[in-house]
Amino acid sequence: MKTKPRLSTAQILNMNFGFLGIQFGFALQNGNASRILQTFGADVQSLSWFWVVAPLTGIIIQPIIGHYSDRTWCKLGRRKPYFLAGAILAALALIFMPNSGALSAVISPLIIGAGMLTIMNASFNVAMEPFRALVADILPDEQRTTGFSIQTFLIGIGAVIGSWLPYVMSEWMGIGKSTPQGEIPVNVIIAFYVGAAVMLGTIIWTIVKTKEYPPEEYRQFQKDEPSEEKSKESLLDIFKDVARMPLTMKQLGIVQFFSWFALFAMWVYTTPAVAAHVYGAVDAKSPNYQVAADWVNVLFGVYNLVAMVFALALPWIAAKTNRKITHSISLICGALGLISIFFITNQYWLILSMVGVGIAWASILAMPYAILAGSIPPRKMGVYMGIFNFFITIPQIICSLSAGPILKHMFHSDATYALLIAGICLLIASGSVVFVRDKH
């Protein structure tokens, strides 16, 4: 069995560059989808119902994409055809979502906006899963922590720019300041256009600059089942793969469940929580609410900026301790950050809260995948990366279905309690890391 050659830092950067564009678009969605849907008529209690499309599409699409990308080879490559298709579809959704109101004479803009959110999330899922598998495919085990950390660094760059762009255009350039009440601000619309262009450009860069191993060469790095069995497998074998998932994946599943429940609650409810708790704005169509929403974009940019920087330190910290300790401590930092929002009423102190969230976010994007990759059979890398997404999407679905009624009936629709619950979930996730087996 051959050993995979080590790659240079530049090669690892090129391999992950497309994720910068994906996260640019993802940050625009996370920071602005709630305000767009609320402008079109959604209330706080129903917000999570619209967001449920994200995990639902992920739980269906990612294992299927993983299964077929494991078996795909064409002139473009193995994983690259999938994240190119996903990027094109996501870019189209980014262009159309903030313009949903233009079709209000034909159909409710709320329905159109929800439909574009569905397409956007499905497309992000098509693009994301093959990127995770690409890193595991090409890099040797000793470089995987570095590979996923650099991926997190580039994710941070894209997310910071995507999060801050609407605020910069509004506050520094005056774009969108005079948008009539009840309409989507112009700065948000333009930011979505820029996001579509950046996503396509970075994906194309990765496709041009990255070489995937052809099937014959890739097989030389494998030590699991012989290739003859591959031809007998079908899409239904995903269910068998689920039943046979490695122990490490099951243990990480608990950690991922509570981590992503917390993240989903944060993405959905930070805007209404900050608007009401800090700015005293509950009407999504009011100018003060739009100011709060722009500030939430800044805060989301802060945590992504912190994640971008902290990601570069993750390989060093993991080498000095281990991957489990690194992840556990990072999650505690995120928990304290989210819990602190409940007690803060000054917009600038929220920046400190986002520092803790950023540390956790960097680790969530890197450590679980670095731990997981060593426990997966190489020829099953794509499908198991897709199955691992179950532990990301299922908690988001549960949060979508439960958060609205919980906030309404227990906390009088106060969205800050959603962030408090999210912080507690990260504490549970941190404790669960102790039981994970990290197999090199």
* pLDDT greater at residue 204 or residue 93: 204
* pLDDT greater at residue 228 or residue 437: 437
Could you give the CA distance from residue 437 to residue 428 in angstroms, rounded to a whole number?
17
pLDDT at residue 194, as a whole number: 95
* pLDDT greater at residue 335 or residue 154: 335
8 A C-beta contact, residue 151 and residue 135: yes
Per-residue pLDDT averaged across 86-113, rounded? 78
Which of 40-54, 78-92, 190-204, 296-310 is least confident? 40-54
The two structure tokens encoding residue 47: 């917000």
pLDDT at residue 229, as a whole number: 45
152, 153, 158, 155: which is closest to 366 by C-alpha?
A: 152
The two structure tokens encoding residue 141: 């085990």
8 A C-beta contact, residue 399 and residue 261: yes
pLDDT tens, 232-289? 556 667 777 778 888 888 999 999 999 999 999 998 899 999 999 899 888 877 888 8
Please name the amino acid found at residue 255.
V
In the block, residue with structure tokens 């209000």: 104
Mean pLDDT of the chain: 84
Could you give the CA distance from residue 361 to residue 391 in angstroms, rounded to a whole number?
16
- Cα 233 off chain centre by: 30
Sign of the dihedral defined by the CA atoms of residues 118, 123, 129, 131, in that order? negative
pLDDT at residue 234, as a whole number: 61
Contacts of residue 380, defined as CB under 8 A and 6 or more positions apart, other chains included, come to 70, 224, 241
pLDDT at residue 230, as a whole number: 47
Per-residue pLDDT averaged across 419-435, rounded? 95
Could you give the CA distance from residue 5 to residue 314 in angstroms, rounded to a whole number?
22
pLDDT band at residue 440 under the 50/70/90 scheme: low
In 10 A of CB 217, how many CB atoms? 10
Per-residue pLDDT averaged across 169-182, rounded? 80
pLDDT at residue 353, as a whole number: 96
Identify each DSSP E strand in 204-252 by its residue range.
Answer: none
DSSP class of residue 75 equals: T
DSSP class of residue 168 equals: I
Q: Is the pLDDT of residue 211 over 60?
A: yes
8 A C-beta contact, residue 128 and residue 392: no
pLDDT at residue 175, as a whole number: 85
* pLDDT greater at residue 228 or residue 103: 103
Q: Is the pLDDT of residue 231 over 50?
A: no
Counting residues of the chain whose pLDDT is more than 70, the rounded percentage is 92
Q: Is the pLDDT of residue 356 over 90?
A: yes
